[in-house]
Amino acid sequence: MNNLQVQLYNLDYENAVLATLMSDENTYAKICEIVNEDDFAAEKSRLIFRAIKLLSEAGEPVDLVTVHDQLERTKLLHSAGGDSYLALVLSSAFIGNFHLMHYATRIKELSQQRRIRSVLFGAHSAINDDGNDVDVKISNIVSELIEVSKNSNDATKKPRSISSLIEGFLTNQENLMKGIKPKFHKTGFLDLDQKAQIQNGHLVVLAARPAMGKTTLAMNKLARIVDNNRVLDKDGKVISEKTGVIFSLEMPTDEMMIKFLSAEAGVGVNNKNIKEGLITEDEWVGIQQKIVELGEDYPLYIDDQPMITYQQMRSRLVQLQAEGKEIGVVVIDYLQIMGGLDANNLTNSIAEVTGNLKALAKEMNCPIILLSQLNRDLEKRPNKRPINSDLRSSGSIEQDADIIIFVYRDEVYNENSEHKGVAEIIIGKNRHGEIGTVRLGFDGAKSKFTNFMPQYDDGHPFHA
């Protein structure tokens, strides 16, 4: 425990920075993106820095006299050490720009270490408190540590002039003219990929009424994205990969595993045969081949905790990152049964979740595919194809989503449908591309969507 009592501050650094700020009024702008008032360990230093900040931001001169006057007017001169302490600070050596930036950075680093120590002390108390769920404790601790790692004064986050963005714009246009398009995650569904390209940072909402196959479509997309991000050498060793994560709030892991293997093993396996132990010899060969292909470290994770909250999801993704795994895609099945939603104020609580998930997609630099139920009201319409307003609590979902995709299968409503085995994938919103409808083949027995081709063999649609 004594090791935790290491001195995590340096008053010489703090005094040198403050002395330089009072000696050269042009230096505040150079470090205000690095440190803030709370980063100074000594209260006297914090008060002096606050006075310098207020003067600088008001466009007033900054020197010993004006800082003294500012502290006196705000009745903080005594708390800041009075005349004698200001004189002591100013007697510190004036440092040049290079040393100023170094000292300021070191003050920030020490401040972060103090905050880490505070979080860990709090974690020690939480561990001894038997009142909360372990997952909640872990989530809270990890979230607090993540907050420490964030630097709200990062200079790279300041507004950029439009002139500085021109070069990037011209480069993008040049690439487009050469036929070089922005990278996107290929899902294997050619028509869909052409219209609605899923990119890192996207929040993709996949919505449908029950039994339409939205979980199956999400799993199919997830598997293709993971496969396409996995690069192996000639000996089968992994060169690079990205991890796929599915939060399955409704379906347990064993059912998700059946759905995954049913779709991915060979040309597909009847999931009923898997559930009843009636796998055919050919199906068993396909399953074994897929298991060998997956190996011991295939980068796809399933979390089936019911009622999991956004905070817990984020915590678990951060834990995977801490283990050295790069998150490539996340699927959440599904929004309306997530934990933490307030049934008495569902619209606002869903708005908070979708806003957080959009931010999380950007933070993780990967797409998040969010499954959602639709309102029952559409069942009353003659045309039951979904539209954006059919999304439950649709305002925030429609606003935060980059892409909204609906799944509609006519055979669910019409027993004698001419379109059996066909799914309409309706793109209701696409922030960066087209809206419209594409067709996919659907094989529910094998938990599989396929590319659809408008060719017919003996009256049946062909899909591959």
pLDDT at residue 160 tops 80: no
- At residue 100 the predicted structure's pLDDT band, cuts being 50, 70 and 90, is confident
Please return the burial class of 145, using the count of CB atoms within 10 Å of its CB with bins 0-12, 13-18 and 19+: middle
pLDDT at residue 332 tops 50: yes
pLDDT in tens, 314-331: 888 888 887 888 999 999
Please return the burial class of 239, using the count of CB atoms within 10 Å of its CB with bins 0-12, 13-18 and 19+: exposed
pLDDT in tens, 383-402: 889 988 888 766 778 888 99
Q: Which value, to the nearest 10 degrees, does the dihedral of the CA atoms of residues 443, 447, 451, 456 take?
A: -10
Greatest mean pLDDT range, 183-192, 256-265, 366-375 = 366-375
Rounded Cα–Cα distance for residues 217 and 450 (Å): 10
- At residue 285 the predicted structure's pLDDT band, cuts being 50, 70 and 90, is confident
Report whether 210 contacts 251 (CB < 8 A).
Answer: no
Greatest mean pLDDT range, 266-270, 428-432, 456-460 = 428-432
pLDDT at residue 456 tops 60: no
Predicted pLDDT of residue 40: 93
Report whether 417 contacts 411 (CB < 8 A).
Answer: yes
pLDDT at residue 133 tops 70: no
Predicted pLDDT of residue 99: 84
- In sequence order, what DSSP letters do the residues of 14-45 get, joined into one string? HHHHHHHHHH-TTSHHHHTTT--GGG-SSHHH
| Domains defined for the chain, CATH in brackets | 2-155 (1.10.860.10), 190-463 (3.40.50.300)
- At residue 455 the predicted structure's pLDDT band, cuts being 50, 70 and 90, is low
Q: In Å, how far are 108, 217, 265, 377 from 409, measured between CA atoms?
A: 57, 12, 24, 17
Rounded Cα–Cα distance for residues 94 and 66 (Å): 18
- In sequence order, what DSSP letters do the residues of 69-131 get, joined into one string? HHHHHTT-TTTTTHHHHHHHHHTSPP--HHHHHHHHHHHHHHHHHHHHHHHHHHHHHHHH-TT
pLDDT at residue 66 tops 90: yes
Residue from 393, 389, 318 nearest 352 by CA: 393
Report whether 301 contacts 245 (CB < 8 A).
Answer: yes
Report whether 265 contacts 273 (CB < 8 A).
Answer: no
- At residue 414 the predicted structure's pLDDT band, cuts being 50, 70 and 90, is confident
Greatest mean pLDDT range, 92-101, 127-136, 358-367 = 358-367
* E strand intervals along 118-249: 203-208, 231-232, 238-240, 243-248
Predicted pLDDT of residue 335: 87
Predicted pLDDT of residue 153: 47
Q: Which residue has the tokens 């905790």?
A: 305
What mean pLDDT comes out for the span 14-22?
91
Predicted pLDDT of residue 460: 47
pLDDT in tens, 26-64: 788 888 878 888 899 989 999 999 999 888 888 888 899
What mean pLDDT comes out for the span 78-102?
85
Query: How high is the mean pLDDT of the chain?
Result: 83
Rounded Cα–Cα distance for residues 433 and 197 (Å): 8
Predicted pLDDT of residue 308: 87
pLDDT at residue 162 tops 90: no
pLDDT in tens, 249-277: 988 888 888 888 888 887 778 888 888 88
